[in-house]
Amino acid sequence: MSRLFVVSGPSGAGKSSLCTALLKDCPKLKLSISCTTRAPRLGEKDGCEYHFLDIEDFEKQKGAGAFLEWAKVHDHFYGTRQSDVLSVLQKGDDVLLEIDWQGAAQVAEKMPDLMRIFILPPSIESLRERLMARGQDDALVIERRVAAAEAEMSHAAEAHYQVVNDDFDKALQTLRLLVAK
């Protein structure tokens, strides 16, 4: 039976890096590509990291009920199309959603037989350092992301499991064990 895994956590906690490594280890696990209205970052390609949509197209799909979940995060819309998830599950593969806590809650309402995992940074200061080391955002954006992260982390207990990413290899091993359950 195919399973749905939802991984959430604040920006900079390491969820993308952990999910990328987990997907390499688990060939039956497929990443669901979310939609977003934000511009692609350097090296991102449409249909690989995200489906990049303009606001009008996103709103049209949202209005048609196409999204399993959607949210506005850092001034941009993000969403997962239900048809994308169901097509992978129907093929017999497991699905991994890497989405924010708001989206995870929406998915849990519609598809309660999922496993929710929340990735936490070891501390707020380490999160700030990771965001600065990325070199993608200015100081004002980083401070907004840190403030948002503190609010997001208050929802960690809503997940079935919390994984603190203080050691990447240990956190990845924990994720492997959870997916193998």
Domains and CATH numbers, the chain: 4-180 (3.40.50.300)
Give 60-76 pLDDT, tens digit per residue. Answer: 999 999 999 998 877 99
Cα–Cα distance between 18 and 2 in angstroms, integer? 21
DSSP 46: B
Q: Give the chain's residues under pLDDT 50.
A: none
Q: How confident is the model over 115-148, as pLDDT tens digits? A: 999 999 999 998 888 888 887 888 898 888 889 8
> What per-residue confidence (pLDDT) applies to 26?
93
The predicted pLDDT at position 114 comes to 96
Residue 94 and residue 29 in contact, taking contact as beta carbons nearer than 8 Å: yes
- Alpha-carbon span 28 to 15, nearest angstrom: 19
Q: What is the pTM of this model?
A: 0.86
